[in-house]
A and B are shown apart, each in its own frame.
Chain A
Amino acid sequence: MANLTLRGVHKSFGEVHVIHGVDLDVRDNEFVVFVGPSGCGKSTLLRMICGLESTTSGDIHIDGRRVNDLPAAQRGLAMVFQSYALYPHMTVRQNMAFGLENIRTPRKEIDARIAEAARMLRLDELLSRRPTQLSGGQRQRVAIGRAIVREPKIFLFDEPLSNLDAELRVSMRAELAQLHRRLKATMIYVTHDQVEAMTMANKIVVLQSGRVEQVGPPLELYNAPANRFVAGFIGSPRMNFLPARVVSAAQETTVLQVEAVGPVSAAPRAKLRNGDSVTLGIRPEHLEVIPGGTGATVQAVEQLGGLSYVRLSPHDIVAQIHGQTRLGPDETVSLRLPPDLVHLFDAEGAAVPSNFRVAA
C-alpha cells in the first residue's frame, strides 16, 4: 500500500514563498501528474515529497506515517531525474546496484532484481556499458531501471521525457503507461507538457505559482475546468477566450453578446444577471465554421492533412476543422458555438457552472 497525503504544505526559500498551502491525496496505484507552466513549483513539490527539500510548514504522510523529518533515502521512494543523474564512471549494472549495495542487500538478491528490471526494460545487452556509451532513450531506461530495483512504494518522475526527441517521447509515454500497469505501483509524474498529462494520468494536479488550481481525472479537467487558467492550459490548441456580456439570463438559456462577433447562446447559469461581464471560452475543436457567412474573417489557414486550423479575426480565434478545407485568407465566415460546449468565466477567472452540468 502506498498512499501519500499532503496537508497545508508551504515552502519558502528565505523571503520567497514558492508553495502556498497545497493539499493533496494520492491513493495506492494511482498515476498522478503534476502539470503547470515553468516556475509553478511542481518540481519543488516533488522534491519536498522526495525529501531532497525541507518543508517550511505542513505535513507529508506516506502510508499514514509523517515523513517530514525522515531523510530522503528512508521514505521508501525512488526518483527518476530530468537529466537521469546516472553515475558516469560506473557501468549500467553498477549504477543499478549502487543503491542496493548501500543497504547491504545480499549479492544474489541484487543480481536477481537487476536481471528482472533489465528484462522489463530491454537493458540486457547494455549492462556492462557506461552511460556515455548509451543513447538518450537508453539512459532514460537505465534511470527507470535504477528506480525499479529499489522496489519503492512510490515512483517519482521529474520531467523524464523532456530531453528526448518527439518521436521517442511518444513511444516512451506508452512504455511508462505500460510499466505502471505491470508494476502496479503508485507513480507521481511532473511535466510541463499537458499532452503527457492527459495521456498518462489517472489524476492530474494543475499548479500555478505554487497553488493547486484543480485536481481531477483528465477528462474532467477538459470538460469542466474550474477556472480560466486550467481551461487555457489543458487542451491543444488553447481554448479561445472572448469578452462577452450577458444580454439575457433566462431559465432555459443564457444569451450573451460577444463583441464584434454577435449573439451566442449558452447553457443556463443560475448565477448570472443581465449586464454581467464574463469571459466566454470555446475550444477550437468545438467551434463550427460556416463558410460564406458574416461575423469573422479568415486570417490564415494551417493544413495538417487530417486537421486544419483556421485563424480568424477578431479576437484571434482559432478553429479546428476536421479534414482539409478550401477556406482561404480574407474570406468571411460565420461561427456557431454549441451552447453546451460554451464555458463562462467570471471577472476573477472562476468558472460559472451551468445548471445542467453534473460534476464529473
Chain B
Amino acid sequence: MADTTDSAALPANGLSRLGAFLRATNGRHGADWTDWASYAYLVFGTLLMFVPVAWLALSSLKTPAGLDQMPPTVLPYEPARVAIPGRAGDLPLFRITKGDHVGEVLAEVRRIGLQAQMVEPAAPEKVLRVPVSDREPVMRLHAAWDNYSAVIRRFDFLRYFWNSVFITAIATIITLLFNAMAAFALSKYQFRGRGTVFALILATLMVPPTIILVPNYLIASQLGLVNSLWGVIWPGVATPTGVFLLRQYMLTIPDELLDAARMDNASEWRLFWRIMLPLSAPALAVLAIFSVMWRWNEFLWPLVVLSRSENFTLQLALNSFQGELTTSWNLLLAMTVLTLLPVTVIFLVLQRHITQGIASAGVK
C-alpha cells in the first residue's frame, strides 16, 4: 500500500487531501520507479476509457459544418458570422491568406464559383473580389446547444425516454423481487430437489440468448406481449446471475435471526419482507445496478419485440435515426449523450450505496 510521504495526518481541507493522496508514493523518499509505472498505467487506462466519451460529448456540441472539419478539432468551433449594417443576415467572416488583402478579416457577401465578393466589416460599401482559395474561415468557439433542443422538440424524444425509463424501472423492481424470493427459498429452506433446481438455474447461464430468441418470440406473441413494453419487461426478469448473487449473500445471514423471527410470530412473507430484504440491501443494490445498466442498453430483444415506433426505447430510436442516405450526425450525437446521462447518474448514486452497505455489513 502507498504511504503518504508525510508522516503527519492528512490535512482536513478536501482539495489538499486530494493533493496529498495524489502525491502518495510507494517509495520511502520521493518517487520510486514503481510509482512512475503505476501512474503511467493509471493515466493510460483513464485516457483509454475517458477520451471516447469526452470526444462524444464535445462533438455533440458541434454544428454539422463543425463536424465536417478536416482535420477535426477537439473543441466545438463554428465559422464566425457578423452582422453588417446595410446587408441582410449574418455574413461569414474570412481571413485572407494570400493576394492583395493578406492578413485582413473580411465578410463574404456572395460567392460565385471560384470568386467571392467580400466587404470589410468597417467599410461595407466597397465590394472586393477575392479568389476562394486565398482565404480561410474564421472559427470561433461555439457550443451548439440547439442540437439538444432540436432533438427534444423535433423528434419524439420524451416519449422514447419515457419508454426506456418505464422499462428499466419496472423491470428492475420486478427482477429484484423475483430473484430475491428465489434466492431466499434456495438459501434458507430445505426441500427435496433443492440442489437440482439450483443446478438447473445455473445451467441456463450456459445457453446463449440468441439461441432462444425465436422460441421466446413465439411465446411472447402467443401471450400477446408483442409490440408492448411488457413484452420487453417480462422475458428477462428471472436472471440466474441475480439468483446466484442474492443466494450467496443470503447464506451469510444467520439462521438464528430467522428462528427468532419465527418465534416472534412472523409469517414467512413478513420474514422475507421485513428481515431478509433489508438485510440483503448491499446485494440488492449490486443487482439493481446490473439490471439498470443491462435494461437501459438492451437492444436486440426490444428490436425484435417492438415494431411500432411509438413504443421504441431510446436505443431503438437512436438506431432508427441512422437513415439510408443521410444522417444528421449532430442530432444523433446529442441524442446519444442524452441517452447516456441517466444511467450514469444512477450508477453514481447506487455505487455509493454499495460501498456503504458493504462497510456497515460488518455486523456481529
Interface of A toward B, CB cutoff 8 Å: 50, 52, 71-74, 77-79, 81-83, 85-89, 98-99, 102-103, 131-132, 146, 150
A132 to chain B, nearest CB (A): 5
Cβ of B256 and Cβ of A73 under 8 Å apart?
Answer: no
Instruction: Say yes or no: A85 contacts B265, CB within 8 Å.
Output: no
Query: Given A88-B363, A132-B364, A52–B257 Cβ distance below 8 Å?
Result: no
> Contact string, B248-259, partner A, CB cutoff 8 A, digits 1/0?
000000101101
| Complex interface: chain B residues within 8 A of A73 (CB) | 262-266
Task: Determine whether the beta carbon of A79 is less than 8 Å from that of B265.
Answer: no
Contact indicator A85/B266 (Cβ below 8 Å) = no
Residue of A nearest to B361 (CB): A88
| Contact residues in A for B270 (Cβ distance below 8 Å) | 102
Q: Decide if A85 touches B262 in the complex (CB within 8 Å).
A: no
Partner of A78, one of B257, B259, B263, B275: B263
Given A132-B363, A132-B364, also A87-B257 (CB < 8 A): yes
CB atoms of A52 and B259 under 8 A apart: yes
Residues of B within 8 A of A131 (CB): 363
A98 & B254 in contact (Cβ 8 Å cutoff) = no
Chain A residues contacting B257 (CB-CB under 8 Å) are: 85, 87
Residues on B lying within 8 angstroms of A by beta carbon are 254, 256-257, 259-267, 270, 274-275, 278-279, 360, 363-364
**What are 26 A-B pairs at a CB distance below 8 A?**
A50-B263, A52-B259, A52-B262, A52-B263, A71-B262, A72-B263, A73-B266, A77-B263, A79-B260, A81-B256, A82-B256, A85-B254, A85-B260, A87-B261, A89-B279, A98-B266, A99-B264, A99-B265, A99-B266, A102-B265, A102-B266, A102-B270, A131-B363, A132-B363, A146-B260, A146-B264
- B interface: dominant SS: helix
Which chain B residue lies CB-closest to A136?
B364
Which residues from chain B contact A132 at a C-beta distance below 8 Å?
360, 363-364
The interface residues of chain B lying within 8 Å CB-to-CB of A77 are 263
Write out the residue numbers on chain B whose beta carbons fall within 8 Å of the beta carbon of A102.
264-267, 270
Contact A85 B275 (CB under 8 A): no
Complex interface: chain B residues within 8 A of A81 (CB): 256, 259-260
A89-B279, A102-B270, A132-B363 given; A83·B262 CB < 8 A: no
Given contacts A52-B263, A98-B274, 7 further A-B contacts (CB under 8 A): A72-B262, A72-B263, A73-B263, A79-B260, A85-B259, A87-B261, A98-B264
Nearest chain B CB to A103's CB is how many angstroms away?
A: 5
A77 to B264, CA, bound (A): 10
- CA of A77 to CA of B278 in the docked complex: distance in angstroms? 27
- Asked if residues B363 and A85 are in contact (CB atoms below 8 Å), the reply is no
Closest 10 CB pairs of A and B: A99-B264, A85-B260, A73-B265, A85-B256, A102-B265, A88-B363, A89-B278, A102-B266, A103-B265, A81-B256
Indicate if the CB atoms of B279 and A88 lie closer than 8 Å: yes
Given A88-B279, A89-B279, A102-B270: A83 and B263 within 8 A (CB)? no
Distance (Å) between the CB of B282 and the closest chain A CB?
12
For the complex, what is the distance from the CA of A72 to the CA of B258, rounded to whole Å?
12
Chain A residues contacting B254 (CB-CB under 8 Å) are 83, 85
Distance in angstroms between the alpha carbons of A52 and B262 in the assembled complex: 9
